[in-house]
Amino acid sequence: MMSLFQQKKLERLQANKEQGQQFLSENAKREGVITLPSGLQYEVVKMGEGSKPVITDKVKVHYKGTLIDGKEFDSSYKRGTPLEFRVNGVIKGWVEALLLMPAGSIWKLYMPSELAYGDQQAGPLITPGSTLVFDVELLEVK
């Protein structure tokens, strides 16, 4: 029984990774999408004019996170409260993007699973190997 469960889990992981790679490959062809060597993709919705954070800074952001099918899994906008955290206290893809973003910027991030939660389950909707999409508004560098 356990072996069947493990097999299904592995199949789901592989399917998620394949779907994510296909999505990112197609997304990279769109005008305005920038792909970094790490695999992180982003597009600038609005370029801010404030300072860029450093790894140990605290930042204040609004964000929305979705799966590649558009299903929303989290949103500070819906909660009505921006989130504050240290740049080095979040997933790798966020760290990489935040270090490039001037305050006041709004970027759309497309994150391969290895820059997000990898092969781990993260809540009820983010299954292992999931590619994620975030709308990130960097409100303030503290």
Give pLDDT tens digits along the chain (142 positions). Answer: 568 778 888 888 999 999 999 999 999 999 999 999 999 999 999 999 999 999 999 999 999 999 999 999 999 999 999 999 999 999 999 999 999 999 999 999 999 999 999 999 999 999 999 999 999 999 999 9
DSSP string, the chain: -HHHHHHHHHHHHHHHHHHHHHHHHHHTTSTT-EE-TTS-EEEEEE---SPPP-TT-EEEEEEEEEETTS-EEEEHHHHT--EEEEGGGS-HHHHHHHTTPPTT-EEEEEE-GGGTTTTS-BTTTB-TT--EEEEEEEEEE-
CATH number of 2-141: 3.10.50.40
Q: Is the pTM of this model over 0.85?
A: yes
Are the beta carbons of 76 and 95 closer than 8 angstroms? Answer: no
Residue type, 55: I
Kindly list the catalytic residues. Answer: 63, 73-74, 91, 117, 134
- Conformation bin of residue 74: beta by default, left when phi > 0, alpha when psi is -120 to 50: beta
| Residue 2, pLDDT score | 64
In the chain, where are the structural domains located? 2-141
Q: Return the pLDDT at 1.
A: 57
16 CB contacts (<8 Å, ≥6 apart)? 113, 127, 128, 129, 130, 131
Q: Rounded to whole angstroms, what are the CA distances from 130 to 54, 57, 68? A: 27, 28, 8
